[in-house]
Amino acid sequence: MLFLRNGVAPENDVALSYLQPSKSIEERSCKRARSKGEAMSLANSRFAYSRGLHDLGNGGYAWLQPDGGWGWSNAGLVVSGDHSLLVDTLFDVPLTRDMLDAMRRAEPKAAAKIDTVVNTHHNGDHWFGNQCCEGAEIIAHKLALEGMLREGPEMLAALMKAAPGMGETGQFFTQCFGAFDFAGVTATLPTTTFEGELTRQVGDKTLRLTHVGPAHTPGDILVHAVEDKVVFTGDILFIEGHPIMWAGPIRNWVAACDGILAMDVETVVPGHGPITDKKGVAAVRDYLVYTRDEAKKRFDAGLSVYEAASDIDMRGYEGWGDGERVVANVTALYREFAGEEGGHTGSDVWGKMAQFAHEHSHS
């Protein structure tokens, strides 16, 4: 299975050691063996891929969690004067509190109390920490709120409790999510929802929130800090990791990448993986198009989802983590090819991903 990414600190990285997380938190991060094959790095050379707070300049920050695999998501902070907006919280309360502590050290006035939280979509690793931002306005797309109501922390806590009796699938769940404390999460839902596009001012800065789903999930949004030339993409971008399509259609995801490529931005903060720029966006777009085209050939030839996922040549992505996600992607694509757009990849795909991960763990 394809997992861990590189992260060599360039000399001009602006992450500060006193803003980094405590060792006890860091030890929880997934450090999984990387397979053979090193892809060209898609990281923005200005920033190391190291865990903690990274200063993007001009009151912008990114919080990174290598290796960016299952649950190890990124977040962002935008400040102007005494005002602050947080892009996403993390998968559990201790992780989110650790992040917020570092942000308050970096911006004692603006981050003392977070004004606004934006959740880029409904997956728990981007909102389960909302309770740590008491009193903040919490913004998400209308469809993201619907997903949060379906897939809350109680569901994941129950799943992890049941995992020991679920065989290979349970082992896979534990490998992916065993480091997180879902039992300590209180679902704290958005207070403001929108459709289409929403603009917010953070002091003198303009933040443009744009719905680009359904793609990864139904309620995916981009958060564009216009004056800073920064975009926080949520899980529209997995950098140096296989993306996963829970919803689709894939044309929306490709269009979202095209939209980012058309933006006047220099710094791109993905939902998972290292900070990148437009080369990372183009790489994800290429992956989506390649996977779509290869899956269609196998759909037309009558292969099953699992046969197609196993047969697609992914050697061009050997350095990308979480290769089992190709099973979920082909599942969603087969649904599209059959004219069943608008669905959602079900829980049964986890068993197939677990099987794929096991079969390819030494390949």
Domain membership of residue 25 (yes or no) is no
Domain membership of residue 346 (yes or no) is yes
For residue 274, the model assigns a pLDDT of 98
pLDDT per residue as tens digits for the range 137-182: 999 999 999 999 999 999 999 999 999 999 999 999 999 999 999 9
Q: What is the mean pLDDT of residues 205-217?
A: 98
Domain membership of residue 19 (yes or no) is no
Q: How many domains does the chain have?
A: 1
For residue 8, the model assigns a pLDDT of 34
Whether the pLDDT of residue 61 is over 80: the answer is yes
Q: What is the CATH number of the domain that holds 147?
A: 3.60.15.30
Position 59, amino acid: G
Q: What is the mean pLDDT of residues 188-194?
A: 98
For residue 330, the model assigns a pLDDT of 97
Burial of 259: CB neighbours in 10 Å, binned 0-12, 13-18, 19+: middle
For residue 13, the model assigns a pLDDT of 46
Strands 83-87 and 75-80: antiparallel
Which tokens sit at 263? 């933006």
For residue 79, the model assigns a pLDDT of 98
Q: What is the mean pLDDT of residues 305-326?
A: 96
Whether the pLDDT of residue 304 is over 60: the answer is yes
Domain membership of residue 17 (yes or no) is no
For residue 29, the model assigns a pLDDT of 52
Alpha-helical regions (H) of the chain:
23-26, 93-106, 142-150, 153-162, 167-177, 250-262, 278-300, 305-311, 325-337, 349-359
What secondary structure letter does DSSP report for 348? Answer: T
Tokens 């939209």 found at: 259
CA distance 56 to 267: 8
CA distance 68 to 34: 13
Q: What confidence category does residue 362 fall into, taking pLDDT thresholds of 50, 70 and 90?
A: low
Maximum distance among all Cα pairs of the chain, rounded to whole angstroms: 61
CA distance 140 to 143: 8
Q: What confidence category does residue 343 fall into, taking pLDDT thresholds of 50, 70 and 90?
A: low
Q: What confidence category does residue 360 fall into, taking pLDDT thresholds of 50, 70 and 90?
A: confident
Which element (helix H / strand E) includes 207?
strand 205-211
What secondary structure letter does DSSP report for 357? Answer: H
Domain of residue 104: give its range: 30-359
Domain membership of residue 176 (yes or no) is yes
Domain membership of residue 156 (yes or no) is yes
For residue 27, the model assigns a pLDDT of 53
What secondary structure letter does DSSP report for 107? Answer: S
106-110, 319-323, 342-346: least confident range:
342-346
Tokens 């777009």 found at: 285
1-5, 126-130, 138-142, 336-340: least confident range:
1-5
Tokens 């190391």 found at: 48
What secondary structure letter does DSSP report for 321? Answer: B
pLDDT per residue as tens digits for the range 330-341: 999 999 999 987
For residue 300, the model assigns a pLDDT of 98
Predicted TM-score (pTM) of the model is 0.91
Percent of the residues in the chain that have a pLDDT greater than 90, as a whole number: 85
Percent of the residues in the chain that have a pLDDT greater than 70, as a whole number: 87
Domain membership of residue 13 (yes or no) is no
Which tokens sit at 62? 């990114």
Mark 327-352 as b/e (b = at least 16 C-beta within 10 Å): bbbbbbbbbbbeeebebebeeebbbb
pLDDT per residue as tens digits for the range 10-37: 333 444 433 444 445 555 454 443 333 3
Q: What is the mean pLDDT of the chain?
A: 90
CA distance 108 to 206: 22
The candidate with the shortest Cα–Cα distance to 237, out of 286, 302, 192, 298, is 286
Domain membership of residue 109 (yes or no) is yes
